[in-house]
Chains A and B, each alone.
Chain A
Amino acid sequence: MRAKYGKGNDMTDIAMVAPPAEDAMARAVAGEGPAFLPKFSQSAPGTMGIELELMVLDRLTFDLLPAAPDILRLLNQTKRNWVATPEITTSMLEVATSILHNYGEALAQIEEIRRTVLRAAFDVGAAISGGGAHPFQRWNEQRIYPKERYRESARKYGYLAKMFTVFGMHVHVGMPSADDAIRVCSALTQRAPLFIALSANSPCWQGEDSGFSSARSNVVGAFPMSGTMPSHIRTWNDFVHHFDRLAAHGIVKSIKDFYWDVRPKPEYGTIELRVLDTPLQPAYAAAFASYARELCLEILHSPTRWVDDGARELYTWNRFNAAKNGVDAQWIDPYSGREHPVREVVRSDLARLALRSADPYFGAARRVIEDLLDAGGQARWLTEHIAEGASMNDVARAASEAFEQPFECSLQRWSIGKAQEAADARPAG
């Protein structure tokens, strides 16, 4: 079987008679048509978009509630410039921003999304929460969203489809060309564990304290096309050949079948960072996305550095370490081989990026992230509740209440308070 894709003007015969790209893409994603990889669209470098997968909860027990279709029905009646879509199970709701240009814009739109989604959920009697994994949901109790694409996933992946009731944040960053996208994708992948550590907030899994800061990160690894982009891919053409080869075996049908930590998104002209737990407080999403955006811009304007195949084990270790220990983790630099605390690396990144950033609000994003680093991360906020005797229901309730607060929320006050404590504890001078 030959995959259908456009290669600039060099269209294959099959592609020339194919239906319009959007339709072909939709059919491939739904598993109804042949494999299809669209052309890489151009987009303005540094523009960004944020996707958040949110939990829909019961207002009494704070268990997952299959009410996403009802909330979407209400959201579809409102006028907005952002998107709300279903996800694989009916307790998941995905929201995506419009194209954003800086932290200020991101923060404003995320806040608007938070308010609107909360209102719609409340109207139907549901609560909303951030967080990477629900503390006590049982995977077998989840319901597949009544849509062919998701039913197809359920048939293909079996129980993994329901296990995938985890909640991530994806950041899209605009790329000027397809080759740049592959280059930035490869370099950003090496720093993805920093984002796992920074966003980690899923310490509980299936009713137990998992001992991990981000239990969600372990779930994605079960999918066959998870992991990282292979190191031999260095141009868009390499990627197209890779896609072709897998499509010929029927392994992939569209870009959505690649569950890589960072992947190109040709139809948007972006690269997509996919490793973050959805933040408990949506405003953190804006700060994390701004950090990712500045890193991408820096990589884009720096000389190319490729990692070799030997970096794969280091990456796996960095990823595991970040998921396990959150912001207390260590990170091994794949280029120098030296080990550093995640906190130190992120601080150093932020300081360096602040000097070159053209975003007038980046300083504010930096402060939010640094406060969170000092406080010990969101996972610690949840485990402190457990240590104080909270049940799993209470943990889910606390997370939901954090989402309900505007940015100046208890979670942020806790974060600033902890940061202050840490500063006071440091020796003078």
Chain B
Amino acid sequence: MLMDDVLSKIQLLMLSPLASIGAALLLSQVIGVALQRRGLPKLYGAVIAGLLLGTSGIGIVDAPLLAQFQELLNAASALVLFEVGRKMDLGWLCRSRRQGMALLVGCIGRGVSCAAVLWLAGASAVEAALIGSILIAINPVVYASMTADSDSSGVVTYAGANAVGLSNLVGLLALSASLAWLHSRSQDAGGGLLEELVKQGTKLVLGGLIAAFCYGSYALATRIARAQASVRPGILLATLLMDLGLCSVSSSSALLSLLLMGLLLRNAESRENVFQAQIRTGQEIGYALLFMMSAALVDVRDVAGWAPVLLAVLLFAMRMGITRLSLSVSDAWSSEKKNAMAITLCSLASVGSLVVDTSIAQTTGMSGLAASVMGTLLALNVLIAPGLTWWSLRLAGEVRERE
């Protein structure tokens, strides 16, 4: 009788979405720490936990469960992009000319070449444009986790952070245009391409305005309060929440808004550079949670058929090749550093949150081939991108030596 009670309570606990997520996070942390002790990337703890507990494994953490945390996930993704924006040095990107140009050319090159290959492989033009836009962006969670995990710093790490920011900004803009094109072709679309473009553009512009408003509020508040450095992060957090809320009620782009908020903070407010150290631990746990959820959504059984796998591997490798080629524009980095940088920037993002998931597969109008290629790419991303990023930071010689 007593045993039955205990079992029913355990079952109840398993049904609690929060407890399931907590258990998954705990598992990912335990595996991650064990891997780290052996000199391996900690983020693979999240990958293994996600695969074991997710769609590919016993299915405790699946799409319906994660849907219950959608608001939270959206906020987390937007905050990740805030960090991405905060690491973008506009002054350097613009005034360094060749270096900034190399990174921009890499973004455009990745998008255009991937779209062209997909189109040649039989995907429709709109699908190719959509996936091409997504493949512009570099996954900020993979990049930030791996640089933090390796305690890396140096010119590759610095340029990489700028490349992640720039790629996400360009990717967001390109994705908006591609989505407008896709929506204008769907059967239940009310208007044409122009109308859809205006709709997507309005979301972006509104997001930008909200970012400017919230940044202005932050700047005003810190000056009125004459806030010292140590207390400014609290004021910043309040304005970030304001930004998220305003974006939510106005249906504007929270991702762009938070990215721009970070960008403004980094480039207009030179005092603000204390935030990073104070939230580092929380940030690392957040990254692990997001990546574990992404891994949970990957179903390795879907990775089947030689054509999609071959195409996905080709696209994955081509993205690195294009990035490397674009870096040739600049002579500020040595060849070794350029090679390492191209591999460091191999990870990819997704349409919804710019964090890996399979939501693209459910997008209206996505054909079997495109969905299959995208699913394989995302699986590849979860499985090998963290490892490649981790290894390339060592290749660049920017990892702190252990003596």
Residues of chain A contacted by B230 (CB below 8 angstroms):
391
Q: Assess the B96–A59 pair: CB atoms within 8 A.
A: no
A77 to B, closest residue via Cβ: B331
A59 to B, closest residue via Cβ: B89
Among A58, A144, A389, residue most surrounded by chain B Cβ atoms (within 10 Å)? A389
In the complex with contacts A123-B332, A125-B92, A58-B158 CB distance below 8 A: yes
Interchain CB contact (< 8 A) of B332 among A124, A154, A393? A124
Residues of chain A contacted by B331 (CB below 8 angstroms):
77
Q: Is A21 an interface residue (CB 8 A)?
A: no
In the complex with contacts A70-B337, A143-B401, A125-B226 CB distance below 8 A: no
* A-B contacts, CB under 8 A, total: 82
Residues of chain A contacted by B337 (CB below 8 angstroms):
70
Q: Is A122 an interface residue (CB 8 A)?
A: yes
Minimum Cβ distance to chain A for residue B58 (Å): 42
In the complex with contacts A61-B273, A394-B229, A70-B89 CB distance below 8 A: no
In the complex with contacts A73-B334, A124-B333, A397-B96 CB distance below 8 A: no
Q: Is A141 an interface residue (CB 8 A)?
A: yes
Q: Is B87 an interface residue (CB 8 A)?
A: yes
Residues of chain A contacted by B400 (CB below 8 angstroms):
141, 143
Interchain CB contact (< 8 A) of B155 among A63, A67, A390? A67
A393 to B278, CA, bound (A): 13
Count residues of A near B (Cβ-Cβ below 8 Å): 29
Q: Assess the A59–B229 pair: CB atoms within 8 A.
A: no
A66 to B158, CA, bound (A): 11
Question: Could you mark each residue 381-398 of chain B with 1 if its beta carbon is under 8 Å from any beta carbon of chain A, else 0?
Answer: 000000000000000011
Among A125, A389, A390, residue most surrounded by chain B Cβ atoms (within 10 Å)? A125
Residues of chain B contacted by A67 (CB below 8 angstroms):
154-155, 158
Q: Is A65 an interface residue (CB 8 A)?
A: yes
Q: Is B274 an interface residue (CB 8 A)?
A: yes
Q: Is A196 an interface residue (CB 8 A)?
A: no
Question: Could you mark each residue 71-91 of chain B with 1 if its beta carbon is under 8 Å from any beta carbon of chain A, else 0?
Answer: 000000000000000110100
Q: Is A62 an interface residue (CB 8 A)?
A: yes
A74 to B337, CA, bound (A): 13
Q: Assess the A74–B332 pair: CB atoms within 8 A.
A: yes
Q: Assess the A60–B273 pair: CB atoms within 8 A.
A: yes
Interface members, chain B 319-344 (any A CB < 8 Å): 331-334, 337
Q: Assess the B155–A122 pair: CB atoms within 8 A.
A: no
Interface members, chain A 54-81 (any B CB < 8 Å): 58-63, 65-67, 70, 73-74, 77
A19 to B365, CA, bound (A): 78
Among A58, A66, A122, A397, residue most surrounded by chain B Cβ atoms (within 10 Å)? A66
Q: Assess the A125–B401 pair: CB atoms within 8 A.
A: no
Q: Is B276 an interface residue (CB 8 A)?
A: yes
Minimum Cβ distance to chain A for residue B140 (Å): 15
Interchain CB contact (< 8 A) of A125 among B155, B266, B273? B155
Minimum Cβ distance to chain A for residue B353 (Å): 24
B91 to A, closest residue via Cβ: A59
Residues of chain B contacted by A143 (CB below 8 angstroms):
400-401
A146 to B403, CA, bound (A): 13
Question: Could you mark each residue 95-107 of chain A with 1 if its beta carbon is under 8 Å from any beta carbon of chain B, else 0?
Answer: 0000000000000
A280 to B355, CA, bound (A): 43
Interchain CB contact (< 8 A) of A391 among B99, B226, B229? B229
Q: Is B293 an interface residue (CB 8 A)?
A: no
Minimum Cβ distance to chain B for residue A140 (Å): 9
A368 to B162, CA, bound (A): 40
Minimum Cβ distance to chain A for residue B341 (Å): 11
A124 to B396, CA, bound (A): 14
Q: Is A327 an interface residue (CB 8 A)?
A: no
Interface members, chain A 342-362 (any B CB < 8 Å): none
A66 to B393, CA, bound (A): 13
A131 to B228, CA, bound (A): 24
Q: Is A88 an interface residue (CB 8 A)?
A: no
In the complex with contacts A59-B89, A67-B155, A397-B273, A389-B226 CB distance below 8 A: yes
B271 to A, closest residue via Cβ: A394
Count residues of B near A (Cβ-Cβ below 8 Å): 35
Q: Is B362 an interface residue (CB 8 A)?
A: no
A154 to B277, CA, bound (A): 28
Q: Assess the A124–B155 pair: CB atoms within 8 A.
A: yes
A125 to B, closest residue via Cβ: B158
Minimum Cβ distance to chain B for residue A278 (Å): 22
Q: Is A255 an interface residue (CB 8 A)?
A: no
Interface members, chain A 87-126 (any B CB < 8 Å): 122-126
A126 to B276, CA, bound (A): 18
Q: Is B95 an interface residue (CB 8 A)?
A: yes
Minimum Cβ distance to chain A for residue B108 (Å): 21
Q: Is B256 an interface residue (CB 8 A)?
A: no
Q: Assess the A70–B334 pair: CB atoms within 8 A.
A: yes
Q: Assess the A125–B162 pair: CB atoms within 8 A.
A: yes
Q: Assess the A389–B153 pair: CB atoms within 8 A.
A: no
A146 to B337, CA, bound (A): 16
Q: Assess the B155–A126 pair: CB atoms within 8 A.
A: yes
A61 to B397, CA, bound (A): 20
Minimum Cβ distance to chain B for residue A148 (Å): 15
Interchain CB contact (< 8 A) of A122 among B95, B153, B229, B397? B95
A66 to B400, CA, bound (A): 9
Question: Could you mark each residue 280-307 of chain B with 1 if its beta carbon is under 8 Å from any beta carbon of chain A, else 0?
Answer: 0000000000000000000000000000
Q: Assess the B96–A122 pair: CB atoms within 8 A.
A: yes
A60 to B276, CA, bound (A): 10
Residues of chain B contacted by A393 (CB below 8 angstroms):
229, 273-274
B92 to A, closest residue via Cβ: A125
Q: Is B159 an interface residue (CB 8 A)?
A: yes
Residues of chain B contacted by A62 (CB below 8 angstroms):
273
Q: Assess the B229–A65 pair: CB atoms within 8 A.
A: no
Interchain CB contact (< 8 A) of A397 among B87, B89, B92, B270? B270
Minimum Cβ distance to chain B for residue A79 (Å): 16
A70 to B162, CA, bound (A): 17
Question: Could you mark each residue 26-43 of chain B with 1 if its beta carbon is under 8 Å from any beta carbon of chain A, else 0?
Answer: 000000000000000000
Among B89, B229, B400, residue most surrounded by chain A Cβ atoms (within 10 Å)? B229
Minimum Cβ distance to chain B for residue A89 (Å): 11
A62 to B158, CA, bound (A): 12
Residues of chain A contacted by B397 (CB below 8 angstroms):
146
Residues of chain B contacted by A59 (CB below 8 angstroms):
89, 92, 158
A77 to B99, CA, bound (A): 17
Q: Assess the B229–A125 pair: CB atoms within 8 A.
A: no
Q: Assess the B154–A65 pair: CB atoms within 8 A.
A: yes
A144 to B, closest residue via Cβ: B401
Residues of chain A contacted by B229 (CB below 8 angstroms):
389-391, 393-394
A146 to B, closest residue via Cβ: B397
Minimum Cβ distance to chain B for residue A382 (Å): 15
Question: Could you mark each residue 135-156 of chain A with 1 if its beta carbon is under 8 Å from any beta carbon of chain B, else 0?
Answer: 0000001011010000000100
In the complex with contacts A65-B154, A124-B155, A144-B401, A70-B333 CB distance below 8 A: yes
Given A389-B229, A397-B273, list of 5 further CB < 8 A pairs?
A61-B273, A70-B334, A124-B158, A125-B155, A389-B228
Q: Which 3 A-B pairs have the closest CB atoms?
A: A391-B229, A389-B228, A125-B158
Instruction: Pull 20 A–B residue pairs with CB atoms less than 8 Å apart, ordered by A.
Output: A60-B86, A60-B87, A60-B266, A60-B273, A62-B273, A66-B154, A73-B334, A123-B99, A124-B155, A124-B159, A125-B159, A125-B162, A141-B400, A143-B400, A143-B401, A390-B229, A391-B273, A393-B273, A393-B274, A394-B229
